[in-house]
Amino acid sequence: MLSVLIVDDEAPARRYLRRLLEAMPGLLVIGEAGTVEQAWRLARECKPDVLFLDIELTAGTGFEVLEMLESRHNPAIVFVTAHKDHAARAFDVEAVDYLLKPVSPERLAQTLARLQPRAAGLSMRTRSGKRFIKIDQLTVVQAQGDYVCLYGVGHANELIHVTLKRVAEQLPSPPFCSLSRSLIINLEHISHVAQRPGAQIEVSFINGLTPLMLGRAASQRLRQAMASNG
């Protein structure tokens, strides 16, 4: 289930898009915003998976909303606009799609097909009960005795009673890379890698997760994986 925030300064446009989205399976519209400030506040509070974002807003633009978002929360962006001339800039910020108003149900279905990978996840039993864990939010997966610890957006030191091998079988490779018998890392979440004394390297992440120190063997595997992944 993907959570969606609609951002448009015209109430009729928001209502129309909401009706279309609510008729599609696998989506949950969690809010609407009409201004840059409302969009920023709701995105920060609700952390939607997807922003359906108008570009020309009252007293601002959709690009300003993106600039205000925290780096550790990166929703998928779908621009919905009446203007064709912003397409190049939209894809510079890695938008999933660029929809021209009025949006048809058929065109919206194409967009949702592009968003489906973000809906992929793991159904796991944690100490707090059964959870659905979105794969694209995972940064580090690490074995700890009879448990596996998950680190990433929305998963702070979450323990699941399962083997690392079982988790690895359910993760796409790439972007996930096994660096040892106890450690898997998401290559897409790496911001930079720094050499440290000896053969160690320090890995920093785009979502603000505590940097990770790797030894010689794991460092070599990571370099090879990053080179292969482009």
Residues 17 and 99 grouped into a single domain: yes
Residues 52 and 85 grouped into a single domain: yes
Provide the residue range defining the domain that includes 40: 2-118
Q: What is the pLDDT of residue 221?
A: 93
pLDDT top residue among 122 and 180? 180
Looking at residue 145, which CATH number applies to its domain?
2.40.50.1020
Residues 101 and 169 grouped into a single domain: no
pLDDT tens-digit series, residues 180-208: 999 999 999 999 999 988 878 999 998 88
Residues 32 and 79 grouped into a single domain: yes
Q: How many domains does the chain have?
A: 2
Residues 125 and 201 grouped into a single domain: yes
Last residue of some domain: 71, 96, 118? 118
How far apart are the C-alpha atoms of 11 and 62, rounded to whole Å?
16
DSSP H stretches of helix in the chain: 11-22, 36-46, 62-68, 87-92, 105-115, 164-168, 216-228
Other beta carbons less than 10 A from residue 128's beta carbon: 8
Residues 211 and 130 grouped into a single domain: yes
pLDDT tens-digit series, residues 140-173: 999 998 889 988 876 566 788 888 888 888 888 8
Last residue of some domain: 118, 143, 161? 118
